[in-house]
Structures are given as C-alpha cells and as structure tokens.
Amino acid sequence: MKIIELARNFDALQIDVRDYTFEEGLIHGLIGPNGCGKTTLGKLIMGTLAAQSRKIDFNGLDERDLTMVSQNPYMLHDSVYQNLVFPLKIRGIVPDQEEVERLLRLCGLQDKKKENARSLSMGQKQKLSIARAFIFKPKLIIMDENLSNLDPDSVELFEAEILRMQKETPATWIIISHQIAHIRRLCDKIHFMAKGRIQVSGSLEKVFGEQEVPELRRYIARETLRF
C-alpha cells in the first residue's frame, strides 16, 4: 500500500503522510506517543474519517479487503455468533462452521455463542472484535492497541494466530501498540510516529538505534523503562 498523500488538519494536530509505503505482506508496527495521530492515521487510511487530501494506492484492493479493529469495539445488538459472522454475511459468504468454532474457541467464547455480545466483558468484546476481523481474511488489517488489554494467555494465543494467518495467507498488517514485546515478536518493520508524521522506519534495531529524533529517544527511554 502506498500513501501518495494523506492529510487532515485539526487545531492541535496536523496529520501529514506522503510518498510513504507500507510494503505488502509484512507485519508493520506503528508506535509513537499518545496523541501523535496513530488512530487518526488508521481511520484516514480506512476512509472512515474524512481527509483533506487522500491519495492511496491500495494496489488493487478494494474497501471490502480492508479492516481496522478499533480500540472501542462496536458490538451489534445481537448474539456473539451473529457478531462474529457479520463480515461474512455482508460479503455474501457462507460461514465455514468449523472455522467459526475455532475462532470462538480462540476467544474462549465457545459456550457463549447465543449470548448477547453487549453483555460480554470488555476483554471478551475485544477478542470477539479481533476474531470478527480475522474471519473474512482481510488483505489489509489495522489493529489499534487491541492486544494491550488482553490477559497474557490471550495475548499469546492471538499472537500465534496472527503469525499462523500470515503464513497461510499473507496480508499487510499495521499493528498499533505500545508494548515493545508484541512489536518484537510480531513485526517485520517498525514505524515511529510523532506530531502527525511518520518520522523513522525500519527494523526494530534500526529504529531503536536512531539517535537523531528527540521524540523517539524520549519514547524509547520511557517505554523500555517499563520492563
């Protein structure tokens, strides 16, 4: 996916990304301080938030191939099962029941198929919203800090699932996360964002070794202190 230009101005923040490629078939990690524009950039890429200018070359993908898993998952007023299969329904695809069961187990929701999705705990909703994105095998998937709030067992399961999916049918992933540990385990390439722009990108080693960008030095000093 190549962003030719993508811009949106708010009073406090100007998002501006141009001539920027997220190579296809890689798991990208997008990091940066709170409020630097990661979520907004994701929404602008998806087209769910209007941009002042938006030229993106998706290399043949259309909007049905894209998805973003939001930080605050939206659950339909319906059962766990109906929420999970919703993306298939709107694409006219008949759910493969074995795959549905497998994803329900991944979420620990195999016994809650008929429950109203809105009655689930926050963590369960998070997991269901991730599985709901995975079920239609998107070609471009943005995950907005969805792993950070899961319990350690679930984190491990979902990370393994991401790597399994990537092996089976490679997609382009943009994983927004503050947890360097996730990024290290999952991502092929890191992008550091500050003040609405992507400032540095490359391997984890390269980005973490970058000395020239003060925001990045500050970010790394703080984030690595947490371990």
Ligand X SMILES: Nc1ncnc2c1ncn2[C@@H]1O[C@H](COP(=O)(O)OP(=O)(O)O)[C@@H](O)[C@H]1O
Apex 207 CA angle, 147 and 66, nearest 5: 45
Among 36, 45, 162, 200, interactor with ligand X by CB under 6 A: 36
Strands 14-21 and 66-69: unpaired
Q: Does 13 bind ligand X (CB under 6 A)?
A: yes
Element (H, E) at 57: strand 53-57
47 binds, among Mg ion, ligand X, none (CB under 5 to 8 A by kind): none
- Residue 129 makes contact with Mg ion by CB under 5 A: no
Cα 58 to Cα 4, 28, 87, 193: the distances in Å are 10, 16, 20, 21
Considering only residues 30 to 49 of the shown chain, the ones binding Mg ion according to CB under 5 A are 38-39
Binding of ligand X by 29 (CB under 6 A):
no
Q: Among Mg ion, ligand X, none, what does residue 10 contact (CB within 5–8 Å per kind)?
A: ligand X
Q: Does 177 participate in binding Mg ion (rule CB under 5 A)?
A: no
Nearest to 1 by CA among 49, 50, 65: 65
Cβ neighbors of 16 (< 8 A, separation 6 or more) are 6, 7, 196, 197
Choose the binding region for ligand X from 8-16, 108-116, 153-161, 163-171 (rule: CB under 6 A).
8-16
The least distance separating Mg ion from the CB of residue 175, rounded to whole angstroms, comes to 12
CB 168 within 8 A of CB 151: no
| Residues forming the site for Mg ion (CB under 5 A) | 38-39
Site for ligand X, rule CB under 6 A: 10, 12-13, 32, 34-40
